[in-house]
Amino acid sequence: MKPTDISAPDYFHKVVDCQWACPAHTPVPEYIRLIAAGRYSDAYMINWESNVFPGILGRTCDRPCEPACRRGRVEAEPVAICRLKRVAADFKDDIRARLPKPAARKNGKRIALVGGGPASLAVARDLAPMGYECIVFDQDPQVGGMMRTQIPKFRLPESVLDEECQYILDLGIAFVGGKRIDSMKALLKENFDACFVGCGAPRGRDLDIPGRKEAAKNIHIGIDWLSSVSFGHIDKIGKRVVVLGGGNTAMDCCRSSRRLGGEDVTVVVRSGFEEMKASPWEKEDAMHEDIPIFNFLVPKEFTHDNGRLTGVLFEKVKAEYDAKGRRKLVPTGEPDRHFPCDDVLVAVGQENAFPWIERDCGIAFDKWDMPKVDPKTMASTHPKVFFGGDAAFGPKNIIWAVAHGHDAAISIDRLCRGEDIAVRPPPQINVASQKMGIHEWSYDNEIAPDKRYRVPHRDKVLSLRDIKSEVELGYDIELALKEAERCLNCDVQTVFTGQLCIECDACVDICPMDCITFTQNGDEAELRTRLQAPAQNVTQDLYVANDLKTGRVMVKDEDVCLHCGLCAERCPTGAWDMQKYLIDMTLAEQACQLKA
């Protein structure tokens, strides 16, 4: 193998699994260390800069970082990264003085943002301090988009949402609420310097089966129903409720129903329980609230008594896989099952809908009627129109919307400066040895053996009584510290210098995970088989270094390294060093002046 080029920005970035997996590339270990140090405001600001909505995401994020977390490969469960983010938001001081100020002088460029959700707000957050005049349009009277309309208050309190939206509005952004944009052509005529479309995927999929029309009065589309609940237009539901669908919207629907009078609430999904789209913890929370989930049942008919809904009839199916591994649901032949109910909530997916974008305005659409969007620049085929969030590639989640927002802001800024939007700014990298003394490091290198700590929940009876009462109470400071200590500090990298090595094997002997091997070089596949411990996880890189006197190479399997620094502690010559690699994604230039 060729010696590893550790100066390539991606190499050590990939070792920080959580940060690499995060669409916004938030420097996770850095803020977790700050939480452990009690510096909640600093931890919050790192998050705010990177993912814009720390308090919101700390409660609602889909957590792509957690399955990636190295702790999950070393021990049973990953670090509770998401809920630690919430800790930063919960315990911070008033940070308003640390936020960027509205631009003192406007640069004369006007940007229209369609939709007041996370994607548009992220774009506006990045651009407004630079002098851009950002105008956000939304059909709803309040800002927040799906974060407000679709996420129930018992998961995301209004105060948290209002606070973090306000930080952005305070940058001097104009929010035009209650205004629906009906024509892209008309919008383009208003001579904005750029338009950003962040209107989400607003159309809930319907279920066209017998009885749908007749019993329509008690059959509701999930996201519309959640939205009405959110704005207080709906405050009760029947005693018996069936929720159709297996995504997070379905979980929000069933749990909201339990709080609005639903006593016998049931979730029914077509697929198997395991394949459900909902996050595992959301399913757990639903079941904890006495909501059973039935699987492998395909809805066949809404039964009704002269237009009054009586229940839903399901066909029992099983999964069969063809030679290509594709799943097909085939009837088992068992008798159909009838679930009697008073109300049905349909949460079987949501779709994009752009009836307001005229197809001849210069924005090309693909065969699925989705706009053609460049995933790097978020640009459409119209030079001035950009997309982001669910509007760009269909339903994802908030953290993706934020990442899209950052990318679109860079593009819009470059467009307005007359630069090529395809050229992207490289990440900012800061490398520093963590050595403080012979056995002293500037980070806590002792590995805590603790298992993942559970986040305390409010008593079930109390939380079911009020739809606005938050279920999760969040970690207290003591629990937060313990959970933070579980982080392995993967951003403190093991850096090896071959010229200094005397090949004494001290690092090999001390390494608790058998990560390090000195051996003859070979090609990667073969090398992986003859290391100190087998390196079977090919998604994790081998770090290869040469310049050794014996002509051998040092091979380190990054997979399960604890970053405990024992290799560096036991190295007599300083050939190993622990160096912190802080990788910050560059946002639209001067987006925030926090980096100094």
Partner 1 sequence: MTYVVKPKFHHPELPKNKLGYTHRDYEGAVSTLCAGCGHDSITASIIEACFELSIEPHRVAKISGIGCSSKTPTYFLGNSHGFNSVHGRMPSVLTGANLANRDLIYLGVSGDGDSASIGFGQFAHCLRRGVNMVYIVENNGVYGLTKGQFSATADRGSKSKRGVVNSDSAIDMVGIALQIGASFVARSFSGDKKQLTPLIKAAIEHQGAAFIDVISPCVAFNNHAGSTKSFDYVREHNEAVNFLDFMTGRPPIHVDYAPGTVERVEQHDGTVLTLRKLDAEYDVHDRLAAMSFLHHHADLGQIVTGLLYVERDAEDLHGHLNTVEAPLNALSEKDLCPGAAVLDKINASLR
| Cα distance between residue 153 and residue 160, in whole Å | 10
CA 509 → CA 497, 504, 527, 528, 544, distances in Å? 18, 9, 19, 19, 18
Binding flag, residue 533, partner 1 (CB under 8 A): yes
| Cα distance between residue 290 and residue 284, in whole Å | 10
The region of 111-119, 333-341, 478-486, 557-565 touching partner 1 under the rule CB under 8 A is 557-565
- Name the CA dihedral angle for 512, 515, 519, 524, rounded to a multiple of 10 degrees: 160
- Looking at the Cβ atoms of 220 and 528, the one nearer to partner 1 is 528
| Cα distance between residue 121 and residue 144, in whole Å | 8
Chain-centroid distance of CA 53 in Å reads 11
We find the least distance from the C-beta atom of residue 503 to partner 1, in angstroms, to be: 6
Out of 336, 376, 534, 594, name the contact with partner 1 by CB under 8 A: 534
CA 129 → CA 104, 105, 339, 475, distances in Å? 8, 9, 55, 34
Number of residues that this document lists for the chain: 596
Nearest to 319 by CA among 287, 273, 250: 273
We find the least distance from the C-beta atom of residue 439 to partner 1, in angstroms, to be: 5
CB of 209 closer than 8 Å to CB of 301: yes
Out of 223, 560, 582, 592, name the contact with partner 1 by CB under 8 A: 560
We find the least distance from the C-beta atom of residue 548 to partner 1, in angstroms, to be: 11
We find the least distance from the C-beta atom of residue 496 to partner 1, in angstroms, to be: 15
Out of 74, 176, 234, 479, name the contact with partner 1 by CB under 8 A: 74
The region of 80-88, 120-128, 296-304, 445-453 touching partner 1 under the rule CB under 8 A is 445-453
Binding flag, residue 509, partner 1 (CB under 8 A): yes
Binding flag, residue 439, partner 1 (CB under 8 A): yes
- Looking at the Cβ atoms of 65 and 562, the one nearer to partner 1 is 562
- Looking at the Cβ atoms of 104 and 438, the one nearer to partner 1 is 438
We find the least distance from the C-beta atom of residue 513 to partner 1, in angstroms, to be: 5
**Residue 297 identity (one-letter amino acid):** L
| Cα distance between residue 596 and residue 594, in whole Å | 6
Out of 502, 589, 594, 595, name the contact with partner 1 by CB under 8 A: 502
- Looking at the Cβ atoms of 260 and 531, the one nearer to partner 1 is 531
Binding flag, residue 514, partner 1 (CB under 8 A): yes
Binding flag, residue 548, partner 1 (CB under 8 A): no
Binding flag, residue 569, partner 1 (CB under 8 A): yes
- Looking at the Cβ atoms of 419 and 440, the one nearer to partner 1 is 440
Q: Find the binding residues for partner 1 in span 446-485 (CB under 8 A).
A: 446-447, 449
- Looking at the Cβ atoms of 401 and 506, the one nearer to partner 1 is 506
Strand-strand pairing, 203-204 and 308-321: unpaired
Binding flag, residue 513, partner 1 (CB under 8 A): yes
Binding flag, residue 445, partner 1 (CB under 8 A): yes
The region of 343-351, 391-399, 453-461, 560-568 touching partner 1 under the rule CB under 8 A is 560-568
DSSP three-state, residue 162: helix
Three-state helix/strand/coil letters over 51-119: HCCHHHHHHHCCCCHHHHCCHHHHCCCCCCHHHHHHHHHHHCCCCHHHCCCCCCCCCCCEEEEECCCHH
We find the least distance from the C-beta atom of residue 557 to partner 1, in angstroms, to be: 9
Binding flag, residue 570, partner 1 (CB under 8 A): yes
**Residue 534 identity (one-letter amino acid):** P
| Cα distance between residue 310 and residue 132, in whole Å | 55
Q: Contact positions toward partner 1, by CB under 8 A?
A: 73-75, 439, 445-447, 449, 502-506, 508-510, 512-515, 519-520, 529-530, 533-534, 536, 549-550, 560, 562, 564, 566, 569-573
